[in-house]
Amino acid sequence: MQTRRHFLTSALAAPLLARPALAQDAPLKVRELYERRGNDLSELAVAREGERITVEGFMAPPLKAESKFFVLTKMPMAVCPFCETEAEWPNDILAVYTKRIVNVIPFNKKITVSGVLELGGYRDPETGFLSMVRLSDANYG
């Protein structure tokens, strides 16, 4: 009896004990990668550089057809927020690079993206798009 009671107690408590781990794995929001004011990167972004992370947001319309790249935004946008210089990089977008050609998702449908977090200036040789924060080797859905 003691063993069965211990097993049942453990089995029922296990999901409750796992909750903190689930909260840690919850998708990040784009805004969590930046400081609240300005375009500085958050401590979280700097600490997670080079790691695979998951971020939720909205797919902005692609810059060109049959691209392996898109921009993830914190709010739905009907046009792509193309940026010219590092100084103008807004703190509410994230460049996303995939291995396959992007299947466009309606701009107002929230998606989750997983990829390796890269920081620092990078200009895409194909599109000329400058990113300061991006996910590489990404997948989405």
The full set of domains in the chain, from first to last, is 26-140 (2.40.50.870)
Q: How confident is the model at residue 135 (pLDDT cuts 50, 70, 90)?
A: very high
* 5-35 pLDDT, tens digit each: 444 444 444 444 443 334 456 899 988 998 8
CA 23 to chain CA mean position, Å: 16
CA distance 77 to 90: 13
Tokens 């590092």, residue located: 86
Which pTM value belongs to this model? 0.75
Question: Considering only CA atoms, which of 137, 130, 141, 134 is closest in space to residue 63?
Answer: 130
Question: Which is higher by pLDDT, 85 or 136?
Answer: 136
pLDDT of residue 80: 56
CA distance 112 to 80: 18
Phi and psi torsions of 54, nearest 5°: -120, 130
